[in-house]
Amino acid sequence: MMITGKFPSLRLRRSRKNDWSRRLVQENNLTPNDFILPIFLIDGKNKKQSIKTMPDVYRYTLDRLSSVVDKAIKKGLPMIALFPYTEKKKKNTLGTEALNEDNLVCKAIQLIKKRYKNEIGIMCDVALDPYTSHGHDGLLKSGYVLNDETNKILINQSLLQAQMGCDVLAPSDMMDGRIGEIRKSLDKNGFKMTQILSYAVKYASNFYGPFRDAVGSKKTLQGNKKNYQMDFRNSNEALREVALDIKEGADMVMVKPGLPYLDIIKLVKQNFKVPVMAYQVSGEYSLLSNGIKKKIVNNEVIIESLIAFKRAGANAIISYYADRLDQILR
């Protein structure tokens, strides 16, 4: 790196002196276009149910969904992401509720598309963990999640969501080869324009706990997900995962979790020049929110953490703060 000039003729603090000059030379900023809002769904009527481990985040019944989507559109968010809380009686070892055209996600997609058309994008998870009685993202045999057998179900889940009107399919399961198979199936069935956002780099992380509470898989999860999600000690492996998924047809890729993996976001962006999304996951969110509530830190840590994503190279961020961004920025 070439250093131009030297002290005292060069004083970098000159541009930091005033608010207007700091704003003038800012390298990164946040707008609503940088965010995707996750929404948790629950069966029933007229419910807005709090999630114990996630302050100010709720599960909504379908009849309360429009108020959340209205707010997201009004705030200028480009996309929402739907996640279901599946009742225990609807779960089984095969996760068959994922293929039920009357499941929560399918009904939510139809409701949103009927009311809002293309005013806002809809992203849906492609994975079985909200629907399996063992809490894993695929079919389980002797404690090991089967790859190719799981892919067959994920293809059908993807097709179903596309048929319902989902704009962006987000396979979050980390099975090998699923992006290519899903892409072929979508193209063959007339969904050439349905996008795939691959969770290409999803680590077996300790930051997912509150999310598993939110979708009801925490208590059911048998063992851990280390035999299919990535080892958090590895970074070169992340590049291999992304390279494979791009070749198989991914339009965008996801790095998850976010803040502890800024180096991975940067590596992916520098090496591939593709749209990179990052997920500020539930553990990150809850740690920040609880820290603010207990006055350990102030509200500005939210902006500081979100700007870090942009600085690392993320195009957009899935964040539970997305619907409160205007208040936070103010």
Q: Which residues are catalytic?
A: 202, 256
Residue 81 contacts residue 123 (beta carbons within 8 Å): yes
- The answer to whether the Cα torsion of 302, 306, 307, 309 is positive or negative is positive
- Using DSSP's 3-state secondary structure scheme, residue 258 falls into coil
Select from 315, 270, 324 the least CA-distant residue to 292.
Answer: 324
Select from 92, 89, 170 the least CA-distant residue to 131.
Answer: 92
Return d(Cα 166, Cα 187) in angstroms, integer.
15
Strand 35-41 to strand 54-60: parallel, antiparallel, or no bridges (unpaired)?
A: parallel
65-74 vs 104-116: helix crossing angle, rounded to 10 = 50
Tell me if the bond preceding 257 is cis, omega within 30° of 0.
Answer: yes
DSSP 283-315: HHHHHHHHHHHTTSS-THHHHHHHHHHHHHT-S
Element holding 36 (H helix, E strand): strand 35-41
Measure Cα distances from 221 to 10, 72, 73, 208, 228 in Å. 58, 32, 35, 12, 14
Return d(Cα 5, Cα 17) in angstroms, integer.
19
Element holding 205 (H helix, E strand): none
Strand 121-126 to strand 168-171: parallel, antiparallel, or no bridges (unpaired)?
A: parallel
State the amino acid at position 157 in one-letter form.
Q
